[in-house]
Chains A and B, each alone.
Chain A
Amino acid sequence: MQAIDRKLLRDFSRLWKQALAIALVLACGVAILLTALGMYKSLSDTRDTYYERNRFADVFSAVQRAPERLVTELAAIEGVWAVETRTVGSAVLDVPGSMVSVTGKILSLPPDGAPRLNVPLLKSGRLPDPTSTDEVMVNHNFALANGFQLGDFFFANLNGQKRQLTITGTAQSPEFIYTIGPGALMPDNATFGILWMPQAAVAAAFDMTGAFNDVALKLSKGAREENVIDAVDRLLEPYGSLGAYGRDLQVSHSFIDSEIQQLRNMATVLPPIFFGISAFLVSMVMGRIIALERSQIGLLKAVGYSNLEVCLHYLMLAVLIAVVGIGIGWLVGGWLARQMALLYAEYFDFPFLIFSTSLWVYAASGMAAMLTTTLGATQAAIKAARLAPAIAMQPPAPPQFKRSWIDRAMAAMRLSQPTIMILRSLIRWPVRSGLTLLGLALAVSTVVSPSFFTYSLNKIVDSAFYESARQDGMLILSHDMPEIVLSTAADLPAVLQAEGQQYHPVILSNGNHEKRTVIQAGRPDSDLSRVIDKDGKQIAVPPGGVVLTERLAAQLDIGIGDTVDAKFLGGRQETHAVRVTDIIAQYFGLGAYMDLEYVNALLRQSPRISLINVSLDDTEVIDLHRRLKEIPSLAGIVMMTDTRRSFSETIAQNIGVVNTIYIVIALLITIGVTYNGARIQLSERSRELASLRILGFTRAEVSYILIGETMLLSVLAQPLGWWIGTLITASMFNSFSSDLYNMPLVIHPAIYAKASFVVLLASFGSVMLVRRRLDKQNLVSAMKVRE
């Protein structure tokens, strides 16, 4: 090893604390890039492969009852590669040993075995015998959650008939990677399951012999999806079509897709911030090292080292820092990616996970980190290379301070000399002060952003669960029923109050704007499911109009008083022009609300409802479940109390983890910035501070100068950090908001207070670490140090 390389290694080991502080910030960037990019790749590759292998369909449509002969016409649509029709139904299940009611989604299997599209992947056992009426295959996770073995059985209310069904196999399906039951906010495999049964049995149960109520189509390459959707709608229209849609509206797909998008955003937004901060820190530290090693640089040149050799020597120091950062980043990132994969496995039901944090992801993250770090060092290294040897040998000229209006202002304020020293140093190096400030502000914003989630989600939960949807349970009817069933429902055990609601799938259109949604119609005096605006005010839905959510109104480009065309799907397919009476802000879905009587009048139908909201007496809930399992006309049951609890628990847990991660990141940034900043200051000022001590200043007075500058910058960084954090969060919420939900920006002082507390404490701690060095400083040797 050459002597100059030995110097490099010794310098590096001498600077290890500063180097580590930078390397950790860099490691954050590398780890996040690795994780986000790796998971993005992994998730999208897995999904694409799964879709491909199991022929996930491109277009879907539900219809009330269409004759089987339509298949040939559907297949003849230009661009259609394959068609699969089936019968889909829903049933309340009675699982032996389970207290709660379970909802099952029933899918028919074609008589010749496995379907051609949305092919279920058999995990265990076999497909049900096509001729059997009591065999069923269930989704794997449902079996796991309920402890089912092959051969176990449960009961199902199939269109009024209670049947015992025996499990012959378990499967996974590309249609149900994210399996979410009706009315639920997140998957619950214990209370919602997918049931595959032979065509004949399902058709008989749901009165669909010779007909179908669900169709999936796979398109050939290059086919235009909109054209196919239009053609399918035209064909199914007379049979009560609920409107065809593409993958973007398929529930499972849209959830995975939004997750993949978020990973991509994460990979592009966060790492550059960390790389930027590390580059700044490297440039600051390298700048100081070069100032300190002036005479050594002069010597190297005097003895014949070339400019390039000197430049490379100092660049290598940055490279070493980058190597450590990249190494830590890769280790942490690899671990983090695995944790993420486990988390995904919990929410997404993939049969396999292509977890190849492939070499190129490692290479890309390493390259990005290496490049930015060396870039940060370049200026200093070039400066070293350019330093003329004769000048390098002499001590540097004292930095130029000039009197300005600021000095006159300081004089007028009668500030103490140490305070003036602090302020002058900040002004003398404005770029450095500015970047330090920015770095600390970014640390503040790192804590601010996730804190917003807590408050925003609380707001959503409050609004959705406690002000709007206040019912304890929802009884979903297998088909619309006369309103009179409410009195039967009120007689069920535990039910204190029962209110009806009608759900109508519609296509709302205004000119060329068109949107699929569901109209919820209720009585104006409803107490359990209320229409609430953003301020928590209950809105009375007036007869003779429709109330739309802001997002929906915006998408339809419509205002209050305008008329919207509502095509009521599933029945006679009537279209009515309805006046928009109000536009309200809500966080979930694309709600549209109408008065129940008005809908009945509009559709010329007797009073009827599609679901019953109930409030319950907790002590009798078990009795209720027992009874519900016996009621034939129920398609499903949603226990809102459970939904609320599991939603809140999951959110609390995830937010806790996220907050902790971001606080750690903020700490690393703060320590990286303040520790290095204070070390550099101490090094620049060691003679100055020693002189002050010799002149009789106390340790505390001298420390004040060192601590003061850092802490002043930290304090100044707070409002900037709050602002950046709020801005980042607002844009994040904006990018998250979808037709599924949108996040309100709830500004609360505690968000800012927490972030400031974390960052100020961390900067104070870091600067106190440096202060210890000041205390140990030997006055005589500090004076002797030759700059």
Chain B
Amino acid sequence: MGQEAPEIVFRTQGVTKVYQTGDVKVFALAGVDLELYTGEMAVLLGPSGSGKSTLLNILGGLDHATAGRVWFRDTELTDIPDRALTRYRRDHVGFVFQFYNLVPSLTARENVQLVTDVSPDPMPAEEALALVGLANRMDHFPSEMSGGEQQRVAIARAIAKRPEILLCDEPTGALDSATGVQVLEVLQDINARFGTTTVIITHNAEIQRMAHRVIQFADGKISSVHTNETRLAPSEIVW
């Protein structure tokens, strides 16, 4: 990233999310103020239940905040109707989940097509799969692929629409270290090649070393933010 004033992609102001279970109120997010910049790779770090996933869901338009405000560039996401939120996800956001969330009845290629079918300017599914190194596994069903391969299909699916933002919730959480590194390499590559703003949630502290910025969560709040002066390549990370 250059040193000139970075362009802001996301801005949140006092975002709060409360879950009500019975008589108990749980504050998943308790007033988060955050800015994310174009092209950066940010890692959200923190223990389970610290609010990382909740924030990611709100940024990705999967969930509404209980209080506070959220902007995507100049658009305020806070109170836009469901239909507009769907449009926003369809056009701008790519998701990668811990458990891949592939549709078991569709092949790798078809899982990617699920997204390219509804996107305004997608890349061909084959190209997306080639980018994640699965050019030769395109017609396999999820049940015929390893965990790492499935996660790479999920990434191909996320990037095939050429999203501006890639939101990854524990992308390596279900993978062993070697496979996890392969997946991180793909993410790194996408970020570098397309300048896609990439947010990665993890509770694996090692992964933070490949990020531009690390945002630390605790108890529904941001506890610290720091910028890595030198980033490691994924292959240098071990856990």
Q: Do residues B106 and A10 form an inter-chain contact, with CB atoms below 8 A?
A: yes
CA distance A527 to B168 in the complex (A): 98
CA distance A14 to B105 in the complex (A): 9
Beyond A7-B110, A303-B95: 6 further Cβ-contacts under 8 Å?
A295-B99, A296-B101, A304-B87, A389-B63, A393-B62, A393-B97
With A2-B113, A389-B63, A390-B62 as contacts: A10 and B89 at CB distance below 8 Å: no
- In the complex formed, the residue of B with least CB distance to A302 is B95
Q: Do residues B99 and A306 form an inter-chain contact, with CB atoms below 8 A?
A: no
**Which residues of chain B from 33 to 92 have any CB-CB distance to chain A below 8 Å in the complex?**
57, 60, 62-63, 82-83, 86-87, 89-91
Residues of A within 8 A of B60 (CB): 302
- In the complex formed, the residue of B with least CB distance to A298 is B101
Residues of A within 8 A of B106 (CB): 3, 6-7, 10
CA distance A388 to B83 in the complex (A): 13
* B115 proximal to A (CB < 8 A): yes
CA distance A574 to B111 in the complex (A): 93
Most buried by A among B83, B86, B97, B99: B86
Expressed in whole angstroms, the minimum distance between the Cβ of B79 and any Cβ of chain A is 16
Residues of A within 8 A of B101 (CB): 295-296, 298-299, 393
Q: What are 7 of the A-B contact pairs (CB < 8 Å)?
A: A7-B110, A296-B101, A302-B89, A303-B114, A304-B89, A306-B83, A388-B62
Contact of A11 among B105, B117, B118, B119 (CB under 8 A): B105
Expressed in whole angstroms, the minimum distance between the Cβ of A335 and any Cβ of chain B is 35
Residues of B within 8 A of A390 (CB): 57, 62-63
Contact of B62 among A295, A301, A305, A309 (CB under 8 A): A301
CA distance A306 to B88 in the complex (A): 11
* A122 proximal to B (CB < 8 A): no
Q: Do residues B62 and A2 form an inter-chain contact, with CB atoms below 8 A?
A: no
* A4 proximal to B (CB < 8 A): yes
CA distance A389 to B99 in the complex (A): 15
**Which residues of chain A from 733 to 777 have any CB-CB distance to chain B below 8 Å in the complex?**
none
* A173 proximal to B (CB < 8 A): no
* B18 proximal to A (CB < 8 A): no
Expressed in whole angstroms, the minimum distance between the Cβ of B107 and any Cβ of chain A is 9
Most buried by B among A299, A304, A388, A389: A304
Main secondary structure of the interface of A (DSSP, over half): helix
Expressed in whole angstroms, the minimum distance between the Cβ of A177 and any Cβ of chain B is 58
**Which residues of chain A from 291 to 343 have any CB-CB distance to chain B below 8 Å in the complex?**
295-296, 298-307, 309
CA distance A581 to B191 in the complex (A): 105
Residues of A within 8 A of B57 (CB): 389-390
- In the complex formed, the residue of B with least CB distance to A385 is B82
Residues of B within 8 A of A3 (CB): 106, 110-111, 113-114, 117
- In the complex formed, the residue of A with least CB distance to B157 is A303
* B26 proximal to A (CB < 8 A): no
Residues of A bordering B, CB below 8 Å: 2-4, 6-7, 10-11, 14, 295-296, 298-307, 309, 388-391, 393, 786
CA distance A10 to B141 in the complex (A): 12
Residues of B within 8 A of A299 (CB): 95, 97, 101, 103
Q: Do residues A786 and B99 form an inter-chain contact, with CB atoms below 8 A?
A: yes
Q: Do residues B118 and A10 form an inter-chain contact, with CB atoms below 8 A?
A: no
Q: Do residues B62 and A302 form an inter-chain contact, with CB atoms below 8 A?
A: yes
Residues of B within 8 A of A388 (CB): 62-63
Residues of A within 8 A of B115 (CB): 303-304
CA distance A6 to B106 in the complex (A): 7
Q: Do residues A10 and B82 form an inter-chain contact, with CB atoms below 8 A?
A: no
CA distance A506 to B63 in the complex (A): 85
Expressed in whole angstroms, the minimum distance between the Cβ of A719 and any Cβ of chain B is 40
CA distance A391 to B57 in the complex (A): 10
Residues of A within 8 A of B157 (CB): 303
CA distance A299 to B90 in the complex (A): 12
Residues of A within 8 A of B86 (CB): 301, 304-307
CA distance A336 to B102 in the complex (A): 46
Q: Do residues B113 and A307 form an inter-chain contact, with CB atoms below 8 A?
A: no
Q: How many Cβ-Cβ contacts under 8 Å join chain A to chain B?
A: 80
Q: Do residues A304 and B118 form an inter-chain contact, with CB atoms below 8 A?
A: yes
With A2-B113, A10-B106 as contacts: A303 and B118 at CB distance below 8 Å: yes
- In the complex formed, the residue of A with least CB distance to B116 is A3
CA distance A11 to B105 in the complex (A): 7
Q: How does the 8 Å CB contact mask read for B109-146 relative to A, with 1 for contact and 0 for none? A: 01101110111000000000000000000000000000
Expressed in whole angstroms, the minimum distance between the Cβ of B175 and any Cβ of chain A is 15
Residues of A within 8 A of B99 (CB): 295, 786
With A306-B86, A786-B99 as contacts: A4 and B62 at CB distance below 8 Å: no
- In the complex formed, the residue of B with least CB distance to A391 is B63
Q: Do residues A303 and B90 form an inter-chain contact, with CB atoms below 8 A?
A: yes
Q: Do residues A4 and B105 form an inter-chain contact, with CB atoms below 8 A?
A: no
Q: Do residues A296 and B103 form an inter-chain contact, with CB atoms below 8 A?
A: yes
Residues of A within 8 A of B119 (CB): 304
Q: Do residues A4 and B63 form an inter-chain contact, with CB atoms below 8 A?
A: no
With A302-B89, A390-B57, A393-B97 as contacts: A307 and B117 at CB distance below 8 Å: no
CA distance A733 to B48 in the complex (A): 69
- In the complex formed, the residue of B with least CB distance to A306 is B86
CA distance A296 to B93 in the complex (A): 17
Contact of B89 among A7, A295, A303 (CB under 8 A): A303
CA distance A302 to B56 in the complex (A): 12
- In the complex formed, the residue of B with least CB distance to A6 is B110
- In the complex formed, the residue of A with least CB distance to B141 is A10
Q: Do residues B62 and A10 form an inter-chain contact, with CB atoms below 8 A?
A: no
Residues of B within 8 A of A7 (CB): 103, 105-106, 110, 114
CA distance A456 to B157 in the complex (A): 69
CA distance A764 to B90 in the complex (A): 48
Residues of A within 8 A of B90 (CB): 303-305
- In the complex formed, the residue of B with least CB distance to A14 is B105
Q: Do residues B114 and A4 form an inter-chain contact, with CB atoms below 8 A?
A: yes
Residues of A within 8 A of B95 (CB): 299, 302-303
Expressed in whole angstroms, the minimum distance between the Cβ of A619 and any Cβ of chain B is 78
Residues of A within 8 A of B82 (CB): 307
CA distance A606 to B91 in the complex (A): 107
CA distance A295 to B142 in the complex (A): 15
Residues of B within 8 A of A300 (CB): 114
Residues of B within 8 A of A304 (CB): 86-87, 89-91, 115, 118-119, 161
- In the complex formed, the residue of A with least CB distance to B104 is A296
CA distance A433 to B114 in the complex (A): 37
- In the complex formed, the residue of B with least CB distance to A296 is B103
Residues of B within 8 A of A6 (CB): 105-106, 110
Expressed in whole angstroms, the minimum distance between the Cβ of B158 and any Cβ of chain A is 8
CA distance A10 to B110 in the complex (A): 12
Q: Do residues A301 and B63 form an inter-chain contact, with CB atoms below 8 A?
A: no
CA distance A305 to B91 in the complex (A): 11
Residues of B within 8 A of A298 (CB): 62, 101
Residues of A within 8 A of B118 (CB): 303-305, 309
CA distance A775 to B117 in the complex (A): 41
Q: Top 4 A-B pairs ranked by shortest CB distance? A: A304-B90, A10-B105, A3-B113, A390-B63
Expressed in whole angstroms, the minimum distance between the Cβ of A307 and any Cβ of chain B is 7
Residues of A within 8 A of B91 (CB): 304
CA distance A306 to B89 in the complex (A): 10
- In the complex formed, the residue of A with least CB distance to B90 is A304
CA distance A393 to B87 in the complex (A): 19
Expressed in whole angstroms, the minimum distance between the Cβ of B174 and any Cβ of chain A is 10
CA distance A655 to B95 in the complex (A): 64
- In the complex formed, the residue of B with least CB distance to A786 is B99
Residues of B within 8 A of A302 (CB): 60, 62, 89, 93, 95
- In the complex formed, the residue of A with least CB distance to B83 is A306
Expressed in whole angstroms, the minimum distance between the Cβ of A442 and any Cβ of chain B is 34
- In the complex formed, the residue of B with least CB distance to A5 is B117
